[in-house]
Amino acid sequence: MEVHYRHEVKHYLNVADLVSIRKRLRCVMETDPHARDGTYQIRSLYFDNAKDKALREKVDGVNLREKFRIRYYNGDPSLIHLEKKSKHNSLGTKYSAPLSAEEAQRIVDGEIGWMLDDRRPLVQELYVKMRSQGLRPKTIVDYTRQPFIYRPGNVRVTFDYNIRTGLFCTDFLNPDCVTIPAGDPVILMEVKWDAYLPDVIRCILQEEGRMQTAFSKYAACRVYD
């Protein structure tokens, strides 16, 4: 299967940057049709092993790395995705497979025997790595996302904020699972594109003094470990 990598760049923003850039983006980019009133809430459950392989590779800046997560949106467990994110320097790719709420809960509860014979390759891969690498559900990551899309170049610009951690709670389908802010408040802009970033978007995103970052929401949500 051909691997399709996309460019991925992240920047810290202050509130003034957010207001300014968002206003200009609205003139040329579409709001993601899946958003409600311009935003959606994301809840993810990230996997790692006892030695924190995924966390250490991110912190140490390993050029080729991967991480697994289960994710759903706006508190609606009727559409859940198992995802594997792979990174190669500033390029990223994502593989995805749907899960039912029952399947997701069984994975959270450690009932994984069924995954070996599943027909979804990504489900089988997670099973193998849970067995061979000791991957287990590690922490919940909650945040608000405001997404914009631009068809030429398949550009996606998102603003993420209100990042919260579930600490040691991994029961991510439980709406009563308590989450708390993941350290100091952060506004993160992520820009993703395929072969090229159109000049009109590049010009809009230019702000003097804005810092590029390798910020990881998963790493931020491990701050209290």
Specify whether the CB–CB gap between 141 and 169 falls below 8 A: no
| Residue 208's pLDDT band (cuts 50, 70, 90) | low
106-110, 167-171, 201-205, 217-221: segment of lowest average pLDDT: 167-171
CA 128/CA 105 separation, integer angstroms: 18
- In 3D space, the residue among 152, 202, 170, 163 whose CA is nearest the CA of residue 186 turns out to be 163
Structure tokens at 108: 């959270």
What's the pLDDT at 114? Answer: 97
pLDDT of residue 55 exceeding 60 = yes
What mean pLDDT comes out for the span 211-215?
A: 83
CA 188 to chain centre: 12
CA 160/CA 18 separation, integer angstroms: 10
Longest dimension (CA), the chain: 53
**Averaged confidence pLDDT in the chain:** 92
Q: Name the E strands within the chain.
A: 6-13, 30-31, 40-48, 64-73, 76-88, 91-99, 136-150, 155-165, 180-181, 187-193, 212-213
What mean pLDDT comes out for the span 95-106?
A: 97
CA 72/CA 150 separation, integer angstroms: 23
CA 168/CA 163 separation, integer angstroms: 16
pLDDT digits (tens, 9 = 90+) for 113-144: 999 999 999 999 999 999 999 999 999 999 99
| Residue 207's pLDDT band (cuts 50, 70, 90) | low
pLDDT digits (tens, 9 = 90+) for 158-183: 999 999 999 888 999 998 888 999 98
Q: Name the E strands within 35-154.
A: 40-48, 64-73, 76-88, 91-99, 136-150
pLDDT of residue 2 exceeding 70 = no
As a whole-number percent, the residues of the chain with pLDDT over 70 amount to 96
Number of residues assigned to the chain: 225
User: The pTM is what?
Assistant: 0.93
What mean pLDDT comes out for the span 92-100?
A: 95
What mean pLDDT comes out for the span 86-90?
A: 84
Residue 183 has a CB neighbour count (10 Å cut-off) of 12
Structure tokens at 190: 């992520």
- 3-state SS assignment for residue 45: strand
